[in-house]
Amino acid sequence: MKKIACLLFALTALPFLSFKQDFNKPVQLNWDTHFKGNPDNNSPFYALTAMTWRYSYNSTVYRNRVEIKLTNQVSIDKNRSWVKWDKIKNPEVRESLLHHEQGHVNIQYILLLEADRVLKNRTYSVKNYKAQISQLANEISDFFDTMQRNYDEETEHGSNHKMQARWDEIIEDKMNESLEASRTGK
């Protein structure tokens, strides 16, 4: 089987106001809906999923304590996400590549859950809470960017089916763990 490659752009930690995200499940990718961009013919990859994590917050200081109301969102930029249809004509290859791309979306969903839990459940200093929140958000972003790169490298962009299956389990376990933690507040 030909080596299939993909690339993920995770534009993270952008402090923009955003709409309420559905925290119950990740977006399910669909070639027709989520990949409207023009392919980069100079890229060695067969698909690109462009995603963004945005967060914003309102803060209140009460009795020397900072409370934040967090808005947290991940989204797929369908106009920047693309696929090279001429490279994936075989239906099984298309399905395999879409499955791999879904893994990227699922990792970004875990980022959403973890960012929500971690940023909300911290005690911040009244004097420098903005810097603390920004630093923590950047650490979360860096962690998940590394996870995304490791996912691609270890699965060989989805072409190593044994490693893809291993990562599918890792991602599923972490999603379940993060969902449970978000429900219990731990």
Rg (CA), the chain: 18
Among 181, 55, 185, smallest CA distance to 112 is for: 55
| Alpha carbon distance 182, 175 (integer Å) | 10
pLDDT the model gives residue 11 = 36
If the chain, 186 residues long, is cut into consecutive pieces of 10 residues, what is the mean pLDDT of each piece? 38 33 82 97 94 95 91 95 95 96 97 95 93 97 97 96 98 95 77
Q: Which stretches of 38-131 are assigned E, i.e. beta strand? A: 47-62, 65-76, 82-83
DSSP for residue 126: T
pLDDT the model gives residue 186 = 62
| Alpha carbon distance 50, 25 (integer Å) | 19
Query: pTM score, two decimals?
Result: 0.86
